[in-house]
Amino acid sequence: MNEDFPDLDRLRLPTQQHSTHAQPNSNGRKSSLNARRVQGEFLKGPIPLKWLGSASKLPGKAPLATALAIMFEVGRRRSPQITLTTAILDRFGVNRKAKYRGLEQLEEANLIEVDRRPRKNPIVTVLAVDGDTSPCPKAEKSSELLESASNH
């Protein structure tokens, strides 16, 4: 093998640089020393910009705040279909009446579907926007499963 690559050692890192590059940890995966874990809660993506842009263009504060709350929960649950609770919306400054307005406007813009039930939290399904891929990686599979289950 050394005949094919006679000067292979010149490609190796100097020993003083070994500690600054990714090293395998106890479970065998490489971890960078410079990588930082995000502290606290965050919106998990990808969130299609076209979807978010459509929500932000709706009049008033309620639709965008409601959309952000929905996408926050979609990321946490890893499902395009979530139950939208008052507790989630409180964190985004959305009260009960703003929730109704926001859901109605998002639904009219074809960004979500809402299953309203008396005295229950609504079930919200995030929809893909004109040609964009679905906002949740498992959305297409979940939708297909729901359709096949309802057909049987």
Class of domain 49-151: mainly alpha
- Taking the C-alpha atoms of residue 132 and residue 90, their distance in angstroms, rounded to an integer, is 30
pLDDT of residue 32: 58
pLDDT of residue 145: 43
- Taking the C-alpha atoms of residue 91 and residue 69, their distance in angstroms, rounded to an integer, is 8
- Taking the C-alpha atoms of residue 14 and residue 150, their distance in angstroms, rounded to an integer, is 62
pLDDT of residue 36: 72
pLDDT mean for each 10 residues of the chain (152 residues):
68 69 62 68 89 95 96 94 95 94 96 96 92 51 46 52
Question: What are 36's two structure tokens?
Answer: 């930082």
CB 107 within 8 A of CB 48: no
Residue spans of the domains in the chain: they are 49-151
**pTM of the predicted model, to two decimals?**
0.65
For the chain, first and last CA: distance in Å?
Answer: 61
pLDDT of residue 82: 96
pLDDT of residue 10: 75
Cα within 13 Å of Cα(87), Cβ side: 2
Instruction: Find tokens 């965008």 and name the residue.
Output: 64
